[in-house]
Amino acid sequence: MSFFKIIFLLLTLPLFSQPKIKNNPISSKEIAVLTEQTSEYLDEYKYELSLAKARVALHLAFKVNNDLLVAKNYNIIAGNYEELNEFKRAIFYYNKALVYATKADNNTIKHWLYNNLGNVYCFDEKQFDKGLFYYQKCLKYSKKEGDFKQIYMTSLNLTWAYFYAKDFKKGKIYLDFINKKYKGLDNESDLAIISMLNGMYYNDLKNFEKAKSYFLKAISLGKLKKDKSDYSSVLEEYSKFLFHSGNYKEAYENMILFHKIVDEIEHKIKLNRAYIAGTNLEIDEYKRKIDEIELENNLQAQLLEKTKIISVLLIISLIILLLLIYSLYRNYNFKKVKNLELIQKNQELVLAKEKAEVASKLKSQFVSTITHELRTPLYGVIGTTNMLVDEHKELSDSPHLKSLKFSAKYLLSLVNDVLQINKIEENRVVLEKKTFNIADEIEYIKNSMSYLAQKHNNTIDVFVDPEIPEYLIGDKLRFSQIIINLVSNALKFTQDGKVTVSANLVNVKEKFHYIEFNIEDNGMGIAEENQEKIFEKFVQVSRKEIDYQGTGLGLSIVKQLLELFNSTIYIKSELGKGTTFNFTITFEKDMEKTNAIINNINVDLSTNQIFTILVVDDNKINLLVTQKTIEKFNYICSVASSGQEALQLLDSGKFDVILMDINMPIMNGFETTRLIRERAIKIPIIALTAFDKEEITEEALSAGFDDIISKPFDSRQLYKVINEVIVKE
């Protein structure tokens, strides 16, 4: 719906001229010129440019505290937003303009603002009651002030508003007024709208002939006006009249003409926007000059103050400089003395470092040697246990044999961790994630500790919370080592008593289960002053009544292993009454991961293909164990007790894989493998060694080994590695 919006922009200012930028504050007169320019831009549909300059003028008006100019610029900003159909913003800024117009005590501006608010509420927001309220308020103050021009313009708007709302009876009162008074104001520019309003009135009375004469007169006058907005409004109302009177064809033709005029107006607006893209540079330059003026004024204001400050700072700087020179002189002498002391300390430190490196190297060699010497017999123990189970099926369910096998495995783990405790301290131990049953592990530990319990006439009670899931994921080997150390420690220092192992589920967060473990005995207890010492390495607290053997590392390892689990061990003990160790470990429950782990463990040992394996080892027991393990896979196994014998067998026989021990007399595994590779024999060679895998990896690969397995090893692991190296070949 197009309509005649009269936005009064206070055209009482001087003609347009560019404000002059001086080296002093801008005057109100210059701001008024800029305000006039923003009003002209709005009349020419240059909304962006009008808004930009209005904001600059508003900023300057605030600076000079001119409420009148502030109100005018807010009015122009609101007019821009009204033309851009942002009516909420227009209302907001019209109201702000009213505030400053009231401060300026300027009724003329207030009248125009009431009129503009009436336009927005009636024609845009369709809130006629609110719009008519502002029109009536404007009319009331205009009559009081005797502002006849304002009375006339408000009456014109009221006429159109009532006609727009189809209330022709009330609108007729104001129409009669403007029909009589417009000639007296010499306001011919509004005659097209007045004729249109008369046409609308007689159309409502169904006096179509008289209505048409007024509409044709309005169209004739509208064509002559430079501003086509009035002409478009006339065409729209005339089209409605033709449609109402039954002349549909002519109504359609005039409606097409109406849309054409509207398109021309919009096209003009677009051209103005393109022009604005270039003129924005002018605004930016204007803002820049204003900023320069402000900066220059600030610099001048601060110049005198800075001069004073610089003088004071210069004096202070001279004093500080003198003090600094004196301080540097004293520091030089002090540093000279300290440097001599530091050189001496550095020399001592270098000697200490060299000694520490030698000690560390000797320690590493000792650990490596002991590890190898202990793993070799343990491989025989574990392997022999497996052979007993395989050859004597009736012993497979024997608790004693299970305890032996379990104890041997954890003895191996204990030996490795005790002798490589430095590895734990260096954070080189990484917890594994395997699926296991806590109740089964604790039961295995109870059975393996039965001999020690009987020796001291003790009993072991176990309680496992039934809420704990059947399968959890974690490092069961490290967990079992913790329980074994604590249970064996409790049994050693308890006579004719009881040791209780309990596991309780205390919390569940998503997949993680927090399980609290308590190892309680009713033995002799530990004095309070010794309770912290027992977790230190190689510390043995004296027990008068019981003589026992031990390394003093068990509880130290327990503490460090629990730190890997992000857990802390707590002790509660009283002499003569017993001791309780308490800690909490978090395990994961994930059936998908559990099934995946179980599937990876379940290796299929059945195969139709038969491989020929050569085992080289100087230890007869270990050689026998390895041979039996290989034959369990239904593979053909040949053995050699030395490197020389292995080379002779390779001259006369053909093998799919060679399992080579490293530590052999006369010719070790590295030398034997190098000789094999020099003969261009490409048979896969796997190192079977009691050394730590990390210690020999580099030398083994350079010698020509394809893979490494540390003894003791699991038969499934050996089977998997053998098949992998053959497939690679």
Question: Which of the given ranges, 121-135, 145-159, 660-674, has the highest pLDDT on average?
Answer: 660-674
Q: What is the pLDDT of residue 357?
A: 67
- On whether the CB atoms of residues 563 and 497 are closer than 8 A, the answer is no
Residue 12: pLDDT over 50:
no
Walk across the sheet containing 636-640 and list its strands: 636-640, 612-616, 657-661, 685-689, 707-710
Q: What is the pLDDT of residue 501?
A: 95
Q: What is the share, in percent, of the chain residues with pLDDT greater than 70?
A: 76
Banded model confidence at residue 247, pLDDT cuts 50, 70, 90 = confident
| Cα first-last separation, the chain | 88
Q: What is the pLDDT of residue 594?
A: 72
Residue 113: pLDDT over 60:
yes
Q: What's the whole-number mean pLDDT along residues 179-196?
A: 69
Residue 702: pLDDT over 50:
yes
Q: What is the pLDDT of residue 603?
A: 45
User: Which residue would you say has higher pLDDT here, 309 or 145?
Assistant: 309
Q: What is the pLDDT of residue 276?
A: 45
Q: What is the pLDDT of residue 374?
A: 64
Q: Residue 193, Cα to own-chain centre: how many angstroms? A: 64
Q: What is the pLDDT of residue 204?
A: 82
Q: Residue 574, Cα to own-chain centre: how many angstroms? A: 50
User: Closest by alpha carbon to 586, among 551, 562, 621?
Assistant: 562
Q: What's the whole-number mean pLDDT along residues 476-484?
A: 89
Residue 544: pLDDT over 90:
no
User: Which residue would you say has higher pLDDT here, 702 or 164?
Assistant: 702
Residue 46: pLDDT over 90:
no
Q: Is the dihedral of CA 709, 699, 431, 533 positive or negative?
A: positive
Q: How does the average pLDDT of the chain come out, rounded?
A: 78
Q: What is the pLDDT of residue 457?
A: 92
Least confident of 150-154, 595-599, 655-659: 595-599
Least confident of 192-206, 380-394, 510-524: 380-394
Banded model confidence at residue 685, pLDDT cuts 50, 70, 90 = very high
| φ, ψ (nearest 5 deg) of residue 507 | -165, 150
Q: What's the whole-number mean pLDDT along residues 548-562?
A: 73
- On whether the CB atoms of residues 642 and 618 are closer than 8 A, the answer is yes
Banded model confidence at residue 415, pLDDT cuts 50, 70, 90 = low
Question: Which of the given ranges, 247-256, 335-344, 544-553, has the highest pLDDT on average?
Answer: 335-344
Banded model confidence at residue 215, pLDDT cuts 50, 70, 90 = confident
Banded model confidence at residue 19, pLDDT cuts 50, 70, 90 = very low
Banded model confidence at residue 112, pLDDT cuts 50, 70, 90 = confident
Banded model confidence at residue 200, pLDDT cuts 50, 70, 90 = confident
Which token pair is 148?
Answer: 């006849």
Q: What's the whole-number mean pLDDT along residues 352-378?
A: 65
Least confident of 86-100, 175-189, 257-271, 594-608: 594-608
Taking only the tens place, the pLDDT of each residue in 391-410 is 666 666 677 766 676 677 65
Banded model confidence at residue 18, pLDDT cuts 50, 70, 90 = very low
Tell me whether strands 636-640 and 612-616 are parallel, antiparallel or unpaired. parallel
Q: Which residue has the tokens 């070799």?
A: 376
Tell the burial category of 632 from Cβ atoms under 10 Å away from its Cβ (0-12, 13-18, 19+).
middle
Q: What is the pLDDT of residue 498?
A: 93
Q: What is the pLDDT of residue 571?
A: 93
Q: What is the pLDDT of residue 578?
A: 92
Q: What is the pLDDT of residue 21?
A: 39
Q: What is the share, in percent, of the chain residues with pLDDT greater than 90?
A: 16
Where do the DSSP E strands lie in 329-453?
A: 434-436
Q: What's the whole-number mean pLDDT along residues 220-249?
A: 75
Residue 330: pLDDT over 80:
yes
Q: What is residue 95's DSSP assignment?
A: H
Which token pair is 583?
Answer: 């800690």
Banded model confidence at residue 226, pLDDT cuts 50, 70, 90 = low
Q: What is the DSSP string of 538-600?
A: T-----SS------S-HHHHHHHHHHHTT---EEEEETTTEEEEEEEEEEE--HHHHHHHHHH
Residue 273: pLDDT over 70:
no
Banded model confidence at residue 569, pLDDT cuts 50, 70, 90 = very high
Q: What is the pLDDT of residue 605?
A: 45
Q: What is the pLDDT of residue 486?
A: 92
Taking only the tens place, the pLDDT of each residue in 609-618 is 788 999 999 8
Q: Is the dihedral of CA 398, 402, 408, 411 positive or negative?
A: negative
Q: What's the whole-number mean pLDDT along residues 637-658?
A: 90
